[in-house]
Amino acid sequence: MSLARNFATVASSTMSSRLLGFVRDMFMAAALGTGPVADAFLVAFRLPNLFRRLFAEGAFSAAFIPLFARRLEESGDEAAHRFAGEVLSAFALLLVIVTIVGEIFMSPIIGVLAPGFAADPEKFALAILLTRIALPYLALISLLALYSGVLNAHGRFLAAAMAPALLNVVLVGALAYVIVTGRQDTEQAGILLAVATLVGGLAQLLMVVVATRRAGIDLPLLRPRLTAGVRRLTALAVPGLIGGGVTQINIVIGTMIASFAPGAIAVLGYADRLYQLPLGIVGATIAVVVLPDLSRQLRAGRADLAAALQNRSVEFSMALTLPAAAGLFALAEPIVRIIYERGAFDAADTLVTARTLMGFALGLPAFVLIKALSPAYFAREDTKTPMWFAAIAVAINVAGSLALFPVLSEVGIALATSLSAWVNAGLLGGLLLVRGHWQPDARLRRSALLLIVATAAMTLVARSAAALAEPLLRTHGGLIAALTLAAICLGAAVLYAMLCQFARIVDFSELIRVLRARQG
């Protein structure tokens, strides 16, 4: 399968999940707003969600897939599946231990994740309760990552990409029940959402386990042992989790700092969801699709094909990310108002969330570049270098957040996170150039310049259209406002695609043909 076809398979499934995530957050904003229950639940959800993004969206796969792919290439299916079984048994035991320890020591864990909650005993106690309920999701989603890695290495992407949608379906149902029964912004609402998180995690895991069995992939159940393969995976995974998950580590740091301001965690969470749509669809998808192919090309000694794959992945990801970042920045306020402003989420919440979203949007291209460049290290089984670069980025994020939060509050945290992402992306790309592992070809250099011009033209048109349609966009999140914003975004996207097609930057018609072929 081509890069475009694999990308379409994962991206279309991921988009379905992310759109459901938007529906979920619209319900959550209406049910919880930015109050104490929202803060407590988002902290409770942060720990298992961190593991979801670290494991299910690339970091675990970055260590596991190259090792699994090597065994497929060199020793065949049986040896590869035995290795996966060894990892599964050891991994499951570790996750049980981590979950038990987490349940016992939940109070100090919340003290670290949200130190500002100590000033509000009721919020602190609620956060402990909700996190204890949701914590087993951590084990479920981590096992999901392993099964997804096995499926992806076999070229089967659909089930793993569709699984996250199940969590959003369950949470939307729970939130609808909260609103219908009048339990908005109550402790009962938080408990129900925590239980729904656990149910959704179980549904996700069952989906990929069934898909694995239907694909004829049998992972043996073995006694947990620290085999040579498990030790090698551990040596790669620990630095890989740090290096590949720097964005999520930065978000956790932002949550810790934001806990000192009431409502700040909720604001960061709502803004995070909006910029995570393009990041999840483009960044995580590129990482999932490119890593198996890049590992196979390097294993077979085809350095020229590996270099071409790297260039096309950067080109393709930037072609989709630059307009997304520009659109989120230019249209932040109407986007937030139309999606969130209803129920417990008021106009003041819209303003601060929009400004925070603009801060995150500035770093969106860098977040995606990290996803596109990291596989070049992981495919060579080098997970330590990205780890050290991640450590530098985290240090910059901490220093920037502490410096800017007293002045700019949530916006300062977003700006510091974006700055650290650009530093990380620059270090990753720079060292690949120095090592000779990546050389931007003439096509990529030409495309980069033209993409910037096309994005600037698109942004100018979108901003001008939004200014002319301002009265329609301020109808308090009604249908007219939503249709107006959708028309502006669609018009800007069509203009951008036409400019790219005319300049022969990226062949979007190829992607459309692939999507139609999949639907057929």
pLDDT tens-digit map of 321-366: 899 999 999 999 999 998 888 877 888 889 999 999 999 999 999 9
pLDDT confidence of residue 130: 93
Distance, CA of 412 to CA of 208 (rounded, Å): 39
Assess whether pLDDT exceeds 90 at residue 4. Answer: no
DSSP string, 253-280: HHHHHHTTSTTHHHHHHHHHHHHHHHII
* Two structure tokens written together for 53: 């993004």
pLDDT tens-digit map of 269-294: 888 878 877 776 665 556 555 656 66
Q: With bands split at pLDDT 50, 70 and 90, how would you rate the model's confidence at 418?
A: very high
pTM of the model: 0.69
| Most confidently predicted of 12-21, 329-338, 388-397 | 329-338
Instruction: Return the number of other C-beta atoms located less than 10 Å from residue 315's C-beta.
Output: 21
User: Residue ranges of the domains in the chain?
Assistant: 3-440, 443-520
Q: What count of residues does the chain have? A: 520
CA angle 420, 421, 427 (to 5 degrees): 90
Task: Please list, in sequence order, all residues whose beta carbon lies within 8 angstroms of the beta carbon of residue 125, skipping any fewer than 6 positions away.
Answer: none
